[in-house]
Structure 1
Amino acid sequence: MTDNSLPATKMSARDVHVYYGATHAIKGVSIDVDQENVTAFIGPSGCGKSTFLRTLNRMNDTIPIARVEGDITLDGENIYSPAMDVVQLRARVGMVFQKPNPFPKSIYENVAYGPRIHGLAPVKSDMDRVVEQSLRRAGLWEEVKDRLHDSGTALSGGQQQRLCIARAIAVDPEVILMDEPCSALDPIATAKIEELIHELRGRYAIVIVTHNMQQAARVSQRTAFFHLGHLVEYGVTSDIFTNPRQERTKDYITGRYG
């Protein structure tokens, strides 16, 4: 009898190493990310979780001394293949950063930017629909629909982060990477982003880096614990937090270090 309970893998990493010059930052990480679950990366500061996240859409390419070894695939296709179009890859694997970074353009133009450069909405009515749909999915439409031509930088921090999420999803990505998306936000804005992650789950494969263990427990179904560049443990979130298999995971969860 075939077990159909395991969700299909969207992205897969095998024996991934990352070097910054002589520094060995990521050491032999293997992990699968699926479409159905939110995956959280946790671990102490400097443990490699953000560095590894950046390998998933080749953001480390922007650092001259960075070198990535191993295999990372998206739907079975090697994302580090010379044939891979990196611009296209970053449309398929979107990124939301720690600090909200809207463009110094209008709210409308922030969301329209990606679809415009990728030629996804050639007619204005199409673009209007994409902008509205993206802002709705990001939980922002009702707050900004009467001020679409105001600057995106005039929004509050939490609204700016949701605008950045709307910008990421406007190009219809398959994966969304979030690098500590709430660390610069107050508790109310954080709650809105967490609610949004729940709503987006299943539509996109979502990976979130967080230093907040309670947040990982709230928003994710799978959790990966990183320590000193190694992936120590990866599994169902409730198991990681209540019954970790590795002593190092247990020590981190219980606050013995980190």
Structure 2
Amino acid sequence: MTDTQLNNATPKLSARGVDVFYGQKQAIKDVSIDIDMEHVTAFIGPSGCGKSTFLRTMNRMNDTVSSARVTGDIRLDGEDIYSPAMDVVQLRARVGMVFQKPNPFPKSIYENVAYGPRIHGLAASKGDMDGIVERSLTRAGLWNEVKDRLTDSGTALSGGQQQRLCIARAIAVDPEVILMDEPCSALDPIATAKIEELIHELRGRYAIAIVTHNMQQAARVSQRTAFFHLGTLVEYGRTSDIFTNPRQERTKDYITGRYG
């Protein structure tokens, strides 16, 4: 069993005994972990190990899969996110998701960012909305690149810019948690470096969990690492410990490249 909590940081998201089934197939087995505001948490492991499936349980993205069933307990600030009383639309505003492939809306750069705040009634005036758009694009490290072309289509941006636009879109509804599912896998090294720098800057403002296949990236951007294998959480600890002194043989084998 791994340590669920490593320090005195108050967990923002807390999972206990989580199982995920797709029909009869069990994809996640008894996973318990805390995600806090002070540390970026990386989920690593070979393809098909369940890390993305688990990430998606934390804002109920698995609800969109008819055969999916989630059991166990996941709480956001102590509130059961799978409770019938939970408003899923509100949950996904509080727990934003950035996907592997940048997916800007076929709208202007401005409207990509303004869409969420408009749906959730976060801006009382055009001036308020302008402020939200500028602030979100600034936090996503994109404002200086796009401030003179806000009416251009979001899909006209480069891949790396599109991904930062998607991060700005997630930030715009004032989330508490940002989940990132391999956000750099479709990007070149320069764009990847910008996203990693951005993750570093957003740490502390949001609780962040990132799925990555790239172990070097996990080592660079995270302070906590969770190693998944065959649907189980094998080991969870400080990133430095996981990469230099893993406690589990399976973790050591993966880190040293014996399988993956």
- Do the two structures share a fold, i.e. TM-score over 0.5? yes
* Matched letter for residue 210 of structure 2: I
Aligned-residue offset at 1:172: 0.4
1:170 aligns with 2:172: yes
Q: Which consecutive unaligned segments of at least 5 residues does structure 1 have?
A: none
Aligned to 1:102: 104
Q: Equivalent residue for 1:192?
A: 194
Question: Residue 33 of structure 1: SS of its match in structure 2?
Answer: strand
| Alignment-derived partner of residue 3 in structure 2 | none
Q: Which amino acid aligns with 1:11?
A: L
| Matching residue of 1:67 | 69
How many angstroms apart in 2 are the aligned matches of 1:20 and 1:54? 13
Question: Does the residue aligned with 1:110 lie in a helix, a strand or coil?
Answer: helix
Q: Indicate the SS of the match to 1:206.
A: strand
Give the counterpart letter for 2:102 in structure 1: P
How many angstroms apart in 1 are the aligned matches of 2:129 and 2:239? 38
For the aligned residue pairs, the C-alpha RMSD in angstroms reads: 0.5
Q: 1:205-244 alignment to 2 at 5 Å?
A: 205-244=207-246
Q: In the comparison of the two structures, how many residue pairs are matched?
A: 254
Partner Cα separation in structure 1 for residue 133 and residue 24 of structure 2: 44
Indicate the residue corresponding to 1:179 in structure 2: 181
Paired amino acid for 1:78: D
Alignment correspondent of 2:4: none
Distance 2:256 2:22 in 1: 31
Distance 2:63 2:143 in 1: 34
Partner of 1:84: 86
Unaligned stretches of 5+ in structure 2? 1-6
Rounded Cα–Cα distance in structure 1 between residues aligned with 2:239 and 2:199: 16
- What is aligned with 1:119? 121
> Which one of 39, 42, 48 corresponds to residue 41 of structure 2?
39
- Please say if residues 18 and 27 of structure 1, whose CA atoms lie closer than 8 Å, have aligned partners that are also in contact: yes
Name the CA distance, whole Å, in 1 between partners of 2:225 and 2:243: 9
Query: Deviation at 1:122?
Result: 2.1
Q: For 1:53-99, what per-residue CA distance to the aligned partner results, in whole angstroms no more than 9, with x for missing partners?
A: 00000000000000000000000000000000000000000000000
> What TM-score, normalized to structure 1?
0.98
What is the aligned partner in structure 1 of residue 139 from structure 2?
Answer: 137
SS in structure 2 opposite 1:191?
A: helix
Say which SS state the counterpart of residue 53 (structure 1) adopts: helix
SS in structure 1 opposite 2:236?
Answer: strand
Tell me the TM-score normalised to structure 2 length. 0.97
